Chain A
Amino acid sequence: MARMKFLCDADRCIECNACVTACKNEHEVPWGINRRRVVTINDGKPGERSVSMACMHCTDAPCQAVCPVNCFYTTADGVVLHSKDLCIGCGYCFYACPFGAPQYPRVGNFGSRGKMDKCTYCAGGPEADGSLAEYEKYGTNRLAEGKLPLCAEMCSTKSLLAGDGEIIAQIYKERVVKRGYGSGAWGWKTAYRETIAS
Protein backbone atom coordinates (compact mmCIF):
# COMPACT_ATOMS: atom_id res chain seq x y z
CA MET A 1 0.00 0.00 0.00
CA ALA A 2 1.20 3.48 -0.79
CA ARG A 3 2.02 5.90 2.00
CA MET A 4 0.85 9.24 0.65
CA LYS A 5 2.91 12.31 1.56
CA PHE A 6 3.49 15.89 0.52
CA LEU A 7 6.92 17.28 -0.23
CA CYS A 8 7.58 20.95 -0.94
CA ASP A 9 10.93 21.67 -2.56
CA ALA A 10 11.62 25.12 -1.09
CA ASP A 11 14.38 25.72 -3.64
CA ARG A 12 11.77 25.66 -6.38
CA CYS A 13 8.70 27.35 -4.85
CA ILE A 14 8.13 30.73 -6.50
CA GLU A 15 5.19 31.78 -4.30
CA CYS A 16 2.75 31.84 -7.19
CA ASN A 17 -0.10 30.58 -4.99
CA ALA A 18 -1.40 28.31 -7.76
CA CYS A 19 -1.65 25.48 -5.19
CA VAL A 20 -3.80 27.67 -2.92
CA THR A 21 -6.06 28.75 -5.77
CA ALA A 22 -6.36 25.23 -7.20
CA CYS A 23 -7.35 23.88 -3.79
CA LYS A 24 -9.95 26.56 -3.13
CA ASN A 25 -11.51 26.16 -6.55
CA GLU A 26 -11.52 22.36 -6.52
CA HIS A 27 -13.13 22.06 -3.10
CA GLU A 28 -15.14 25.30 -3.02
CA VAL A 29 -13.36 26.34 0.16
CA PRO A 30 -14.99 29.50 1.50
CA TRP A 31 -13.28 32.90 1.87
CA GLY A 32 -11.16 32.98 5.01
CA ILE A 33 -10.53 29.22 5.20
CA ASN A 34 -7.17 28.10 3.85
CA ARG A 35 -6.48 24.41 3.57
CA ARG A 36 -3.17 25.26 1.93
CA ARG A 37 -1.07 28.39 2.12
CA VAL A 38 2.32 29.60 0.95
CA VAL A 39 4.60 30.86 3.69
CA THR A 40 7.48 33.15 2.70
CA ILE A 41 10.42 33.96 4.95
CA ASN A 42 12.99 36.71 4.43
CA ASP A 43 10.56 38.34 2.00
CA GLY A 44 12.43 40.78 -0.23
CA LYS A 45 15.84 39.94 1.21
CA PRO A 46 18.63 37.72 -0.07
CA GLY A 47 17.83 34.13 0.80
CA GLU A 48 14.07 34.62 0.43
CA ARG A 49 12.36 31.26 0.69
CA SER A 50 8.80 30.13 0.16
CA VAL A 51 7.20 26.89 1.14
CA SER A 52 3.70 25.64 0.45
CA MET A 53 2.09 24.23 3.56
CA ALA A 54 -1.04 22.26 4.30
CA CYS A 55 -1.90 19.27 6.45
CA MET A 56 1.10 16.93 6.08
CA HIS A 57 -0.92 13.81 6.96
CA CYS A 58 1.50 12.96 9.75
CA THR A 59 2.51 9.55 10.97
CA ASP A 60 0.87 9.22 14.45
CA ALA A 61 -0.88 12.51 13.83
CA PRO A 62 -0.94 14.81 16.90
CA CYS A 63 -4.43 16.05 15.95
CA GLN A 64 -5.67 12.49 16.15
CA ALA A 65 -4.05 12.01 19.55
CA VAL A 66 -5.72 15.02 21.16
CA CYS A 67 -9.20 14.83 19.59
CA PRO A 68 -11.69 14.31 22.43
CA VAL A 69 -14.34 12.79 20.14
CA ASN A 70 -12.03 10.61 18.02
CA CYS A 71 -13.16 12.18 14.77
CA PHE A 72 -9.84 11.50 12.98
CA TYR A 73 -8.88 8.35 11.16
CA THR A 74 -5.93 7.38 8.99
CA THR A 75 -6.72 5.68 5.69
CA ALA A 76 -4.86 2.70 4.27
CA ASP A 77 -2.94 5.22 2.11
CA GLY A 78 -1.72 7.07 5.19
CA VAL A 79 -4.05 10.02 4.65
CA VAL A 80 -5.35 11.64 7.86
CA LEU A 81 -9.07 12.42 7.48
CA HIS A 82 -11.76 13.48 9.88
CA SER A 83 -15.51 13.29 10.27
CA LYS A 84 -17.36 16.58 10.35
CA ASP A 85 -20.34 14.77 11.85
CA LEU A 86 -18.31 13.90 14.94
CA CYS A 87 -16.23 17.11 15.13
CA ILE A 88 -17.36 19.50 17.87
CA GLY A 89 -15.09 22.40 16.84
CA CYS A 90 -13.21 22.38 20.16
CA GLY A 91 -9.98 23.55 18.52
CA TYR A 92 -7.65 21.11 20.31
CA CYS A 93 -6.29 19.88 16.97
CA PHE A 94 -5.37 23.43 16.02
CA TYR A 95 -3.12 23.68 19.08
CA ALA A 96 -1.69 20.21 18.55
CA CYS A 97 -0.92 20.63 14.85
CA PRO A 98 2.71 21.64 14.17
CA PHE A 99 1.72 23.03 10.75
CA GLY A 100 -1.33 25.14 11.59
CA ALA A 101 -3.46 23.05 9.26
CA PRO A 102 -6.87 22.91 11.00
CA GLN A 103 -9.18 25.78 10.04
CA TYR A 104 -12.51 26.74 11.54
CA PRO A 105 -15.34 28.74 10.05
CA ARG A 106 -16.62 31.37 12.46
CA VAL A 107 -20.20 30.62 13.35
CA GLY A 108 -22.16 33.11 15.34
CA ASN A 109 -20.79 35.70 17.73
CA PHE A 110 -18.02 35.58 20.34
CA GLY A 111 -15.66 33.82 17.91
CA SER A 112 -17.43 30.49 18.30
CA ARG A 113 -15.87 27.89 16.05
CA GLY A 114 -17.65 25.75 13.53
CA LYS A 115 -16.58 22.28 12.49
CA MET A 116 -12.92 21.93 11.63
CA ASP A 117 -11.87 21.97 7.98
CA LYS A 118 -8.50 20.90 6.69
CA CYS A 119 -6.69 19.45 3.69
CA THR A 120 -8.10 16.03 2.83
CA TYR A 121 -5.30 15.13 0.42
CA CYS A 122 -8.16 15.39 -2.10
CA ALA A 123 -9.53 12.21 -0.50
CA GLY A 124 -12.90 13.37 0.85
CA GLY A 125 -14.20 12.01 4.15
CA PRO A 126 -16.02 9.07 5.68
CA GLU A 127 -19.05 9.34 3.38
CA ALA A 128 -19.31 7.18 0.24
CA ASP A 129 -16.58 8.08 -2.28
CA GLY A 130 -17.75 10.71 -4.74
CA SER A 131 -21.13 11.24 -3.05
CA LEU A 132 -22.77 14.65 -2.85
CA ALA A 133 -22.73 14.49 0.96
CA GLU A 134 -18.97 13.96 0.85
CA TYR A 135 -18.46 16.81 -1.63
CA GLU A 136 -20.49 19.25 0.44
CA LYS A 137 -18.49 18.56 3.60
CA TYR A 138 -14.99 17.84 2.33
CA GLY A 139 -14.80 18.70 -1.38
CA THR A 140 -13.95 16.36 -4.22
CA ASN A 141 -12.44 12.92 -3.77
CA ARG A 142 -9.74 12.83 -6.44
CA LEU A 143 -7.81 10.00 -4.78
CA ALA A 144 -10.78 7.65 -5.24
CA GLU A 145 -10.66 8.51 -8.94
CA GLY A 146 -6.99 7.58 -9.07
CA LYS A 147 -5.84 11.21 -9.19
CA LEU A 148 -3.33 12.99 -6.97
CA PRO A 149 -4.09 16.20 -5.00
CA LEU A 150 -4.76 19.09 -7.36
CA CYS A 151 -2.37 21.50 -5.61
CA ALA A 152 0.62 19.33 -6.52
CA GLU A 153 -0.76 18.54 -9.96
CA MET A 154 -1.15 22.26 -10.61
CA CYS A 155 2.27 23.33 -9.26
CA SER A 156 3.95 25.33 -12.00
CA THR A 157 7.52 24.53 -10.97
CA LYS A 158 6.77 21.04 -9.65
CA SER A 159 8.01 22.27 -6.31
CA LEU A 160 5.09 20.67 -4.52
CA LEU A 161 5.10 16.91 -4.93
CA ALA A 162 2.36 14.56 -3.81
CA GLY A 163 2.28 10.82 -3.99
CA ASP A 164 3.81 7.77 -2.41
CA GLY A 165 6.48 8.87 0.07
CA GLU A 166 9.14 6.57 -1.37
CA ILE A 167 8.61 7.80 -4.91
CA ILE A 168 8.51 11.53 -4.19
CA ALA A 169 11.56 11.18 -1.93
CA GLN A 170 13.36 9.49 -4.83
CA ILE A 171 12.36 12.30 -7.22
CA TYR A 172 13.61 14.88 -4.74
CA LYS A 173 16.91 13.03 -4.18
CA GLU A 174 17.57 12.85 -7.93
CA ARG A 175 16.84 16.56 -8.21
CA VAL A 176 19.24 17.43 -5.41
CA VAL A 177 21.99 15.30 -6.96
CA LYS A 178 21.47 16.83 -10.39
CA ARG A 179 21.41 20.47 -9.31
CA GLY A 180 23.91 20.00 -6.51
CA TYR A 181 22.00 21.52 -3.60
CA GLY A 182 18.87 21.04 -1.56
CA SER A 183 17.51 22.50 1.63
CA GLY A 184 15.82 19.28 2.72
CA ALA A 185 12.20 18.23 2.73
CA TRP A 186 10.69 20.86 5.00
CA GLY A 187 8.46 19.44 7.72
CA TRP A 188 9.30 15.81 7.08
CA LYS A 189 11.08 15.32 10.36
CA THR A 190 8.08 16.66 12.28
CA ALA A 191 5.46 14.91 10.21
CA TYR A 192 7.07 11.59 9.27
CA ARG A 193 10.04 11.36 11.69
CA GLU A 194 12.42 11.00 8.79
CA THR A 195 14.53 13.25 6.60
CA ILE A 196 15.75 12.99 3.06
CA ALA A 197 19.52 13.01 2.94
CA SER A 198 20.70 15.73 0.59
Chain B
Amino acid sequence: MIERIGGNNPDGVSWSIDLSGGIQRVAMAHGCIHYGNGKARANAWNLPDPIPVHREPIYTPRPDLVAKYPTRPDAKEFRVPNAGFTVQKTAVEKGIAKQFPLILTSGRLVEYEGGGEETRSNKWLAELQQDMFIEINPADAAERGIRDGAWVFVWGPEMESGKATRMKAFVTERVGKGVTWCPFHFAGWFQSVDQRGKYPQGADPIVLGESVNTITTYGFDPVTGMQEPKATLCQIKAA
Protein backbone atom coordinates (compact mmCIF):
# COMPACT_ATOMS: atom_id res chain seq x y z
CA MET B 1 0.00 0.00 0.00
CA ILE B 2 2.77 2.43 0.91
CA GLU B 3 4.62 1.64 -2.30
CA ARG B 4 1.45 2.08 -4.36
CA ILE B 5 1.01 5.61 -3.03
CA GLY B 6 4.61 6.70 -2.62
CA GLY B 7 6.32 4.83 -5.44
CA ASN B 8 10.04 5.31 -5.12
CA ASN B 9 9.70 7.63 -2.16
CA PRO B 10 8.07 5.58 0.62
CA ASP B 11 9.25 8.04 3.30
CA GLY B 12 7.01 10.71 1.74
CA VAL B 13 3.89 8.70 2.60
CA SER B 14 1.94 9.64 5.69
CA TRP B 15 -1.59 9.34 7.01
CA SER B 16 -2.30 12.88 5.79
CA ILE B 17 -1.99 11.93 2.12
CA ASP B 18 -3.58 8.49 2.43
CA LEU B 19 -6.52 8.64 0.01
CA SER B 20 -7.42 4.97 0.27
CA GLY B 21 -10.66 5.69 2.14
CA GLY B 22 -13.65 7.07 0.22
CA ILE B 23 -14.39 9.79 2.75
CA GLN B 24 -11.13 11.58 1.96
CA ARG B 25 -11.98 11.78 -1.75
CA VAL B 26 -15.48 13.06 -1.00
CA ALA B 27 -14.09 15.66 1.38
CA MET B 28 -11.62 16.91 -1.21
CA ALA B 29 -14.32 17.07 -3.89
CA HIS B 30 -16.17 19.49 -1.62
CA GLY B 31 -13.16 21.70 -1.08
CA CYS B 32 -12.39 20.43 2.41
CA ILE B 33 -9.04 19.33 3.70
CA HIS B 34 -9.58 15.61 4.25
CA TYR B 35 -7.94 15.31 7.67
CA GLY B 36 -10.05 17.93 9.38
CA ASN B 37 -12.23 20.70 8.05
CA GLY B 38 -9.29 23.02 7.56
CA LYS B 39 -10.46 25.44 10.25
CA ALA B 40 -9.31 25.92 13.77
CA ARG B 41 -12.40 26.64 15.85
CA ALA B 42 -11.44 29.83 17.68
CA ASN B 43 -15.13 30.48 18.35
CA ALA B 44 -16.71 27.38 19.87
CA TRP B 45 -20.27 28.77 19.87
CA ASN B 46 -21.74 25.83 21.79
CA LEU B 47 -19.38 26.00 24.78
CA PRO B 48 -20.04 28.19 27.87
CA ASP B 49 -16.95 30.25 27.01
CA PRO B 50 -17.14 30.42 23.20
CA ILE B 51 -13.68 31.98 23.16
CA PRO B 52 -11.34 30.81 25.95
CA VAL B 53 -10.95 33.34 28.75
CA HIS B 54 -8.66 33.24 31.74
CA ARG B 55 -10.31 32.13 34.98
CA GLU B 56 -8.46 31.73 38.26
CA PRO B 57 -8.57 28.26 39.82
CA ILE B 58 -11.10 27.80 42.61
CA TYR B 59 -8.27 27.49 45.12
CA THR B 60 -5.92 30.08 43.66
CA PRO B 61 -2.55 31.27 44.95
CA ARG B 62 -3.53 34.75 43.68
CA PRO B 63 -6.85 35.68 45.41
CA ASP B 64 -6.28 39.29 44.29
CA LEU B 65 -7.03 38.20 40.73
CA VAL B 66 -10.33 36.48 41.53
CA ALA B 67 -12.44 39.65 41.31
CA LYS B 68 -11.24 40.24 37.78
CA TYR B 69 -11.02 36.60 36.65
CA PRO B 70 -13.67 34.65 38.60
CA THR B 71 -14.70 31.11 37.80
CA ARG B 72 -18.10 30.60 36.10
CA PRO B 73 -21.23 31.39 38.16
CA ASP B 74 -22.90 28.60 40.14
CA ALA B 75 -25.17 26.61 37.88
CA LYS B 76 -27.06 23.36 37.62
CA GLU B 77 -25.37 21.27 34.98
CA PHE B 78 -27.61 18.45 33.79
CA ARG B 79 -28.85 17.14 37.13
CA VAL B 80 -25.88 18.21 39.29
CA PRO B 81 -25.22 21.56 40.89
CA ASN B 82 -21.82 23.14 40.31
CA ALA B 83 -21.08 25.54 43.16
CA GLY B 84 -17.58 26.49 41.97
CA PHE B 85 -18.21 30.22 42.27
CA THR B 86 -19.35 30.00 45.90
CA VAL B 87 -16.45 27.72 46.82
CA GLN B 88 -13.98 30.09 45.19
CA LYS B 89 -15.51 33.13 46.93
CA THR B 90 -15.45 31.37 50.31
CA ALA B 91 -11.82 30.35 49.79
CA VAL B 92 -10.84 33.95 49.11
CA GLU B 93 -12.78 35.24 52.14
CA LYS B 94 -11.21 32.65 54.44
CA GLY B 95 -7.68 33.52 53.23
CA ILE B 96 -7.03 29.90 52.20
CA ALA B 97 -4.07 30.92 50.04
CA LYS B 98 -2.24 32.15 53.15
CA GLN B 99 -2.71 28.87 55.00
CA PHE B 100 -1.82 26.81 51.94
CA PRO B 101 1.00 28.63 50.20
CA LEU B 102 2.03 25.90 47.76
CA ILE B 103 0.43 25.18 44.40
CA LEU B 104 -0.30 21.47 43.95
CA THR B 105 -0.64 19.86 40.57
CA SER B 106 -0.64 16.19 39.56
CA GLY B 107 0.49 14.11 36.65
CA ARG B 108 1.60 10.72 35.46
CA LEU B 109 4.72 8.59 35.78
CA VAL B 110 6.04 6.58 32.88
CA GLU B 111 5.95 3.37 34.93
CA TYR B 112 2.29 3.46 35.87
CA GLU B 113 -1.03 3.91 34.16
CA GLY B 114 -4.26 5.50 35.40
CA GLY B 115 -5.01 4.86 39.06
CA GLY B 116 -2.13 2.42 39.02
CA GLU B 117 -3.99 -0.55 40.52
CA GLU B 118 -2.92 -2.86 37.67
CA THR B 119 0.55 -1.45 37.08
CA ARG B 120 1.39 -1.34 40.80
CA SER B 121 0.52 -5.04 40.84
CA ASN B 122 3.24 -5.72 38.25
CA LYS B 123 6.50 -6.53 40.05
CA TRP B 124 8.75 -5.22 37.26
CA LEU B 125 7.04 -1.82 37.27
CA ALA B 126 6.39 -1.62 41.02
CA GLU B 127 10.10 -2.05 41.70
CA LEU B 128 10.86 1.10 39.70
CA GLN B 129 8.50 3.36 41.72
CA GLN B 130 8.09 2.04 45.22
CA ASP B 131 6.76 5.11 47.03
CA MET B 132 4.21 7.86 46.63
CA PHE B 133 6.08 11.17 46.57
CA ILE B 134 5.69 14.90 46.15
CA GLU B 135 8.09 17.01 44.12
CA ILE B 136 9.09 20.15 45.97
CA ASN B 137 11.48 22.94 45.05
CA PRO B 138 14.75 23.06 47.05
CA ALA B 139 13.88 26.57 48.33
CA ASP B 140 10.49 25.46 49.70
CA ALA B 141 12.06 22.29 51.13
CA ALA B 142 14.80 24.29 52.88
CA GLU B 143 12.20 26.60 54.50
CA ARG B 144 10.48 23.53 55.94
CA GLY B 145 13.59 21.56 56.85
CA ILE B 146 12.76 18.80 54.39
CA ARG B 147 15.48 16.55 52.99
CA ASP B 148 15.27 14.69 49.70
CA GLY B 149 13.69 11.27 50.23
CA ALA B 150 12.39 12.12 53.70
CA TRP B 151 8.81 11.45 54.78
CA VAL B 152 6.53 14.50 54.77
CA PHE B 153 2.95 15.29 55.71
CA VAL B 154 0.90 16.99 52.98
CA TRP B 155 -2.58 18.39 53.48
CA GLY B 156 -5.04 20.43 51.46
CA PRO B 157 -7.75 23.02 52.14
CA GLU B 158 -10.65 20.57 51.98
CA MET B 159 -9.21 17.91 54.25
CA GLU B 160 -10.49 17.44 57.78
CA SER B 161 -8.49 19.64 60.13
CA GLY B 162 -5.56 17.82 61.72
CA LYS B 163 -5.47 15.10 59.08
CA ALA B 164 -2.64 14.80 56.59
CA THR B 165 -1.39 12.46 53.91
CA ARG B 166 2.07 10.93 54.32
CA MET B 167 4.47 10.54 51.41
CA LYS B 168 8.11 10.98 50.44
CA ALA B 169 9.64 14.30 49.43
CA PHE B 170 11.42 14.56 46.10
CA VAL B 171 13.44 17.77 46.32
CA THR B 172 14.00 18.89 42.73
CA GLU B 173 14.29 21.97 40.57
CA ARG B 174 11.91 20.30 38.16
CA VAL B 175 9.19 22.30 39.93
CA GLY B 176 9.48 26.04 40.45
CA LYS B 177 9.44 27.73 43.85
CA GLY B 178 5.94 27.64 45.29
CA VAL B 179 4.88 24.68 43.14
CA THR B 180 4.56 21.02 44.06
CA TRP B 181 3.69 17.99 41.98
CA CYS B 182 2.36 14.53 42.79
CA PRO B 183 1.83 11.44 40.65
CA PHE B 184 -1.80 10.30 40.58
CA HIS B 185 -1.12 6.56 40.31
CA PHE B 186 -1.08 5.70 43.98
CA ALA B 187 -3.79 4.49 46.34
CA GLY B 188 -4.07 2.18 49.31
CA TRP B 189 -3.11 4.59 52.08
CA PHE B 190 -5.64 7.07 53.43
CA GLN B 191 -4.55 10.04 55.51
CA SER B 192 -1.35 8.34 56.68
CA VAL B 193 -2.99 4.98 57.40
CA ASP B 194 -2.10 1.88 55.37
CA GLN B 195 -5.30 0.20 54.15
CA ARG B 196 -3.70 -3.00 52.86
CA GLY B 197 -5.73 -5.18 55.18
CA LYS B 198 -8.94 -4.05 53.47
CA TYR B 199 -8.06 -5.47 50.06
CA PRO B 200 -9.59 -8.83 49.23
CA GLN B 201 -6.98 -11.51 49.78
CA GLY B 202 -4.47 -11.59 46.92
CA ALA B 203 -5.87 -8.45 45.29
CA ASP B 204 -3.59 -5.92 46.94
CA PRO B 205 -1.02 -4.31 44.63
CA ILE B 206 2.67 -4.75 45.50
CA VAL B 207 3.09 -1.03 46.12
CA LEU B 208 0.58 1.13 47.97
CA GLY B 209 0.68 4.84 48.67
CA GLU B 210 -1.34 7.91 49.45
CA SER B 211 -3.78 8.99 46.72
CA VAL B 212 -3.33 12.56 45.54
CA ASN B 213 -7.12 12.80 45.25
CA THR B 214 -7.25 12.93 49.04
CA ILE B 215 -5.65 16.38 48.79
CA THR B 216 -7.19 17.78 45.60
CA THR B 217 -10.23 19.98 45.88
CA TYR B 218 -13.61 21.05 44.52
CA GLY B 219 -14.10 22.03 40.89
CA PHE B 220 -15.90 20.62 37.87
CA ASP B 221 -15.74 21.39 34.17
CA PRO B 222 -19.10 22.97 33.17
CA VAL B 223 -19.48 20.78 30.07
CA THR B 224 -17.92 17.42 30.85
CA GLY B 225 -18.14 17.40 34.64
CA MET B 226 -14.45 16.52 34.77
CA GLN B 227 -13.02 17.10 38.24
CA GLU B 228 -10.23 19.57 39.02
CA PRO B 229 -7.12 17.45 39.63
CA LYS B 230 -4.57 19.90 38.30
CA ALA B 231 -4.82 23.23 40.12
CA THR B 232 -5.13 23.41 43.86
CA LEU B 233 -3.17 24.37 46.96
CA CYS B 234 -1.46 22.44 49.72
CA GLN B 235 0.86 22.74 52.68
CA ILE B 236 3.76 20.45 53.56
CA LYS B 237 5.72 19.75 56.72
CA ALA B 238 8.45 17.30 57.59
CA ALA B 239 7.09 14.11 59.13
Which residues in A have some Cβ–Cβ distance to B below 8 Å?
15-17, 20-21, 24-25, 31-32, 43-45
Contacts and interface: CB of A to CB of B under 8 A. Distances in A.
Given A24-B124, A32-B127, 13 more contacts: A15-B110, A17-B110, A17-B111, A17-B128, A20-B124, A20-B128, A21-B124, A21-B125, A24-B127, A43-B172, A44-B173, A44-B174, A45-B173
Task: Give the contact-size bracket for chain B.
Answer: 10 to 19
B124 A25 contact: yes
15 contacts: A17-B110, A17-B111, A17-B128, A20-B124, A20-B128, A21-B125, A24-B127, A31-B127, A32-B127, A43-B172, A43-B174, A44-B172, A44-B173, A44-B174, A44-B175
B174 A31 contact: no
A20 B174 CA distance: 23
Majority-rule SS of A interface residues: loop
B163 interface: no
A37 to B, nearest CB: 10
Nearest to A24: B124
Interface in B206-226: none
B144 interface: no
Which among B124, B174, B175 has the highest number of chain A CB atoms within 10 Å? B124
A17 B129 CA distance: 11
A31 B125 CA distance: 10
A31 B123 CA distance: 7
A43 B172 CA distance: 8
A44 B172 CA distance: 6
Interface in B106-161: 110-111, 123-125, 127-128
A32 to B, nearest CB: 8
Which among A15, A21, A25, A32 has the highest number of chain B CB atoms within 10 Å? A21
Contacts of B127: 24, 31-32
Given A25-B124, A31-B127, A16 B172 contact: no
A32 B123 CA distance: 11
Contacts of A21: 124-125, 128
Nearest to A17: B128
A170 to B, nearest CB: 20
A24 B123 CA distance: 9
Contacts of A17: 110-111, 128
Contacts of A25: 124
Nearest to B171: A44
In order of increasing CB-CB distance, the 3 nearest A-B pairs are A44-B174, A44-B172, A24-B124
Nearest to B123: A31
A1 B94 CA distance: 75
Nearest to A25: B124
A154 to B, nearest CB: 12
Contacts of B111: 17
Contacts of B175: 44
A64 B175 CA distance: 45
Contacts of A16: 110
Contacts of B110: 15-17
Nearest to A46: B173
A32 B172 CA distance: 25
Contacts of B123: 31
